[in-house]
Amino acid sequence: MAEPLYVAKSVALRLGVVIILVGLSLVISFSVVHAQETPLWRQNLTCDGVEQRFQGLEYCTDASGTIHVIVVDMNSPAIQFEYVIAEGLNGKDDTYGECLDVNVPQYGPVRGGCHVPGNPAKYPALSLSEAISRYPQAAVIVNSDYWGSDGNKHGPEGFTVVQGDRRDGPALGDTDNNAANRPWLALGDRSPIRVEFGQFGHYGRGPDDGESPDWVYTATGGTPWLIREGKVRKNEIDTCEGANLWACRAGAEQTAAGVSKDKRWLFFVLDTRSGQATLMSLAEYMAESLDIFEAIKFDGGTSTQFVYAGHVMNTGGEVPAYLAVITSSGHGIEIVHKSQNHASPTSAIFYDVVLPGERVTLDITLRNEGTATWSEPTYRLDVLTDNLANVPQSAPVIGLVKPGETYTFSIRFDIPANILPAPRLVQYQMTDGNESFGIVVNAYVFVIPQQLRDMEQEIREQIAVWQRQGEQATEAFIQDLTHRIVDRIQKEAEEQVENILQGLLSGCNSPALLVGTMLTWIALRRRR
């Protein structure tokens, strides 16, 4: 028969997982300092310190204050992009939700298209306020691709990928071939975030087969090319290639996106100059003042929409899609001149979820942001502090890691079988010989009790969601997951009370055991 001490200890172990969630809040203040020479955009833009409210992202203007520029550090682990597409009736069963196709039913034979309720010939759109309500934590929301000019029978025109799911192209019966006729911007979802401007079938790219590269998490089209391989594309701009000439007219407000040659800086530009400002002058400004290597125009004119930090800087009519930039709160982008040795992590949190006695797997990826090449045996990752047994105190660099490259340290060790469930912090820092350098890396080992083994995947998935949503969602995430775990623990405690009571009535359990379990159950209810 079970003893009261055993029951109390079992429930206490399960309660330990709640402590794990507290550990998550410790990573909120994670900050990244990247080392590089002062880029041209920093020299030519006015970036008011008061306006910098986010990590890895900066809001600036030109000298006149009429060209607004968002600069995104693609190396920042806090940055995430999301595609905001309109909602409507999907497929043949008219299920309402986010559009899974860029066509209305008539032209969407595979998924059945998407349309507004009551009108199968019209594609849905959403206002800027609706887009903000979908992603209230977004630092930036900007209109992206054009949409059908044939009576709203088509949604976003070009390459469209939402959370890794492609929603246009030949595989879905979308035969307009616009991902080949028009350029696009594609983005990954793992830091450092990969960014590519491309066009299927052009500039050495293969034809559009309807598939999407595995690394693409978000993609949106636009047109025309503004800058290609560092050169302003005069012919594409003059002919407004891929769009109606009206879209490129002088004096219209415009939005555009571009990237630096090293793909470190991604730019979103809002041009609000009135009068005779031209698309050509905007392209020249982006190339000359911002050193942008590749750029395309997004939808503009009355479709120009731009939000920064909840402030609507420009708004117009409804459109079918927006691009949202999500990050954590902070103070902009800090640039430090390169030193011989500097290292920064590629993620805001490294972690593993294990049971007592299991093997811990920590894959810690750092970027060499100094001027020296890391090589064995002098360069290694050393433990600064830890509260776990068996942690390897050093992990050497194997091979060569050149400036700008990343290196993953694969750290494996077993934890004791008698360890109590709790978040365990291990801190690391790079070392050259006897000299430490770079950002201190926090790695968490979340030890959960055996009774909650089936919640391991759920915890991992919730942490992944939290990483994408940024700091603003952390508190709500912790509360929600805590409630679910406490509910689970309380339910099991109630079942134990019932089982022991039945055993008592049958003469198998002692009254002391029932009293101990009841006290634990009452404590759980009070804790809640």
pLDDT digits 0-9 by tens, 436-454: 998 889 888 888 888 777 7
Return the pLDDT at 38: 83
**Whether the predicted pLDDT of 50 surpasses 80:** yes
How many angstroms separate the CA atoms of 260 and 24, rounded? 34
List the 379-386 sheet strands across, edge first. 350-354, 435-447, 422-432, 379-386, 394-396
Q: Rounded to 10 degrees, what is the CA torsion of 333, 131, 279, 296?
A: 70
Please say whether the beta carbons of 75 and 192 come within 8 A: yes
Q: Is the dihedral of CA 226, 229, 230, 231 positive or negative?
A: negative
Across the range 236-251, mean pLDDT stands at: 92
Residue with more model confidence, 427 or 3: 427
Helix/strand/coil for 450 = helix
Which pLDDT band holds residue 139 (cuts at 50, 70, 90)? very high
Return the pLDDT at 495: 67
**Whether the predicted pLDDT of 524 surpasses 50:** no
Residue with more model confidence, 509 or 353: 353
| Poorest-pLDDT segment among 108-112, 146-150, 342-346 | 146-150
Return the pLDDT at 316: 82
Phi, psi of 5 (to 5 degrees): -60, -40
As a residue count, the chain comes to 528
Return the pLDDT at 273: 87
**Whether the predicted pLDDT of 504 surpasses 60:** no
Return the pLDDT at 15: 43
Cis peptide leading into residue 224 (ω within 30°) = yes
Phi, psi of 381 (to 5 degrees): -105, 120
Q: What pTM did the predictor assign?
A: 0.67
Q: What are 389's two structure tokens?
A: 């047994």
How many angstroms separate the CA atoms of 18 and 358, rounded? 20
Return the pLDDT at 217: 97
Picking from 342, 331, 352, 320, the residue whose alpha carbon sits closest to that of residue 155 is 320
| Domain 31-35+338-469 in this protein, CATH class | mainly beta
State percent of the chain over pLDDT 70.
79
**Whether the predicted pLDDT of 493 surpasses 70:** no
Return the pLDDT at 485: 57
Tell me: the pLDDT tens digits for 325-334?
999 999 999 8
What's the mean pLDDT when you consider all of the chain?
Answer: 83
Return the pLDDT at 231: 96
**Whether the predicted pLDDT of 515 surpasses 70:** no
Cα 337 to chain centroid, rounded? 27
Tell me: the pLDDT tens digits for 309-351?
999 888 888 999 999 999 999 999 987 666 889 998 988 778 8
Please give the single-letter amino acid code of residue 62. D
Which pLDDT band holds residue 165 (cuts at 50, 70, 90)? very high
Show Cβ contacts of residue 301 under 8 Å, excluding neighbours closer than 6 positions.
Answer: 246, 247, 249, 252, 253, 254, 316
**Whether the predicted pLDDT of 21 surpasses 50:** no
Q: What is the DSSP string of 471-504?
A: GGGHHHHHHHHHHHHHHHHHHHHHHHHHHHHHHH
Which pLDDT band holds residue 2 (cuts at 50, 70, 90)? very low
**Whether the predicted pLDDT of 7 surpasses 50:** no
Residue with more model confidence, 412 or 500: 412
Across the range 194-203, mean pLDDT stands at: 84
**Whether the predicted pLDDT of 526 surpasses 50:** no
**Whether the predicted pLDDT of 78 surpasses 50:** yes
Q: What are 469's two structure tokens?
A: 């949503």
Return the pLDDT at 17: 39
Return the pLDDT at 169: 92
Return the pLDDT at 525: 45
* Radius of gyration over every alpha carbon of the chain, rounded to an integer in angstroms: 27
**Whether the predicted pLDDT of 118 surpasses 90:** yes
Return the pLDDT at 470: 45
Reported as type and span, the H/E element at residue 440 is strand 435-447
Cα 96 to chain centroid, rounded? 26
How many angstroms separate the CA atoms of 412 and 360, rounded? 6
Q: What are 477's two structure tokens?
A: 């995430």
